[in-house]
Structure 1
Amino acid sequence: MNEYYDNETFTKVSFTSEQLSKTDFDSCTFKRCDLSELHINNSEFLECEFIDCNLSNARLKDSSFKDTHFYNSKLLGVKFYEVDPFLLRMNFKDCQLDYASFYQLKMQNFQFVDSSIKEVDFTQADVQFSYFDNCDLLGSIFEETDLRNVNFKTSRNFSIDLETNKVEKAVFSKDNVANLLEKYKIRLE
């Protein structure tokens, strides 16, 4: 039988060294919680918020995140491709997502705002209609990624190969479009 929490707030709870399994959270808020290295299995987060939390290296095996928001949180090294993709919707603001992986994940309409997204793997992900606002994408991997209609206008340090990714109607600024030519070793002056 699943545990169920509705409209609850968890503040400064340390979930480390525990395994969270078959637990459903509906409209819950997590504030300054430590979920780092936690194994979260077959759990559901529906309309939840994580504020100032640490989820670094958490395992999210077969867990679902539906309309879940992360604010000022650390999600270093998280393998998002292990989540349940059904109705997946997550947004990130002021977060650290460095070394995470969205490999082959369908993640349309996600929002990444003011976040560090360094060395993140987006290989074969479907990121259509997503928004990267003022994000640092240094070293992130875009390989066979569907980036159609993605807005990169205010982001920086990305390297996107136009030949191996779908980029129709993606938005770039004149200041960051040079990142698309990096492969060709062209200098713009």
Structure 2
Amino acid sequence: MKIEKPKIPEDLASANFQEIYYQEEPYLMNCIIANCTIDREKMDKIEFSKVIFKNVTFNEVSFRNIELTDVIFDNCDLSNVDFMGGSIHKVEFKSSKILGINLSEASLVNVSFNQCNLNLSSFGFASLKQVMFADCSLQNADFYQCKFKKVQYQRSDLNDVNFSQTSLKGIDISSTSFQSLSVSLEDLNGCEVSTEQAIGFARMLGLKIKE
């Protein structure tokens, strides 16, 4: 699966988040925001385009219906950030703490999560197209009633993830690890799993496996 990467100019000007207050619309473009804390900000329909966030902590931030296009989050802390209903296209999350993020009802297209902590994250009712989770922890994440198209989970921890009412047809989870999942047999139809995982699912169904 090929994921389109963010297209960002090489020479970005440094910016401070507070500059957004000098704009007519809540919008920042072509800049890098680094080594700072965005503290207790609450805005609706804020937009970032061609922006790099590096070593940024988002503390008690609510940006519902956010628009992110061609954006990179590098070594950031987005724990408990509220991006509900966001439009997130061509975005990379790298080596970031995203514990408890709210991405419910969001649209994610060409998005990659690499070496991120996404435990307790919420994706309920979201649409994910060409999205990759690589070397991530997703313990207790919620993907309730999501729409998946070309979604990959590579070498990630999916323990206790909720896939209720989300079809995993065509989704390869064979390289992931978990002890239990919340998923129906119907939604597992067409999912690619390892031999060990298949045995585990059989045991969950009450089958007795003869060694």
TM-score normalised over the length of structure 2: 0.79
Pairwise CA RMSD: 2.0
Q: 1:146-157 residue pairs with structure 2 within 5 A?
A: 146-157=167-178
Query: Mean Cα displacement is larger for which, 40-49 or 159-168?
Result: 159-168
Q: Does 1:26 align with 2:53?
A: no
CA contact (8 A) 1:159 1:179 kept: no
Segments of 5+ residues of structure 1 without an aligned counterpart are: none
Q: 1:42-61 residue pairs with structure 2 within 5 A?
A: 42-61=65-84
Match of 1:121 among 129, 142, 145: 142
Segments of 5+ residues of structure 2 without an aligned counterpart are: 1-23
2:92 counterpart letter in structure 1:
H
CA contact (8 A) 1:129 1:148 kept: no
Q: Quote how far apart the aligned CAs of 1:53 are.
A: 0.5
1:150 counterpart letter in structure 2:
I
Q: 1:7-156 residue pairs with structure 2 within 5 A?
A: 7-83=30-106, 85=107, 88-156=109-177
Q: Quote how far apart the aligned CAs of 1:21 are.
A: 4.2
Task: Measure the CA separation in 2 of the matches of 1:110 and 1:167.
Answer: 20
Task: Measure the CA separation in 2 of the matches of 1:95 and 1:186.
Answer: 35
Q: Which residue of 1 aligns with 2:15?
A: none
CA offset digits 1:34-89 (Å, max 9, x no partner): 01320113432101000110111111144321111101111111121143x3x644
Match of 1:167 among 170, 173, 189: 189
Query: Mean Cα displacement is larger for which, 15-24 or 139-148?
Result: 15-24
CA contact (8 A) 1:126 1:147 kept: no
| Change over 3 Å in CA distance of 1:103–1:179 after alignment to 2 | farther
Aligned length: 186
Task: Measure the CA separation in 1 of the matches of 2:183 and 2:109.
Answer: 27
| Change over 3 Å in CA distance of 1:94–1:28 after alignment to 2 | same
Task: Measure the CA separation in 2 of the matches of 1:63 and 1:101.
Answer: 13
Identity of aligned residues (%): 22
Q: Secondary structure at the match of 2:199?
A: helix
TM-score normalised over the length of structure 1: 0.87
Q: Which residue of 2 aligns with 1:179?
A: 200
Task: Measure the CA separation in 2 of the matches of 1:132 and 1:161.
Answer: 16
CA offset digits 1:134-181 (Å, max 9, x no partner): 00011111111111111112101053645241532x222223222322
CA contact (8 A) 2:164 2:184 kept: no
2:98 counterpart letter in structure 1:
L
| Change over 3 Å in CA distance of 1:57–1:138 after alignment to 2 | same
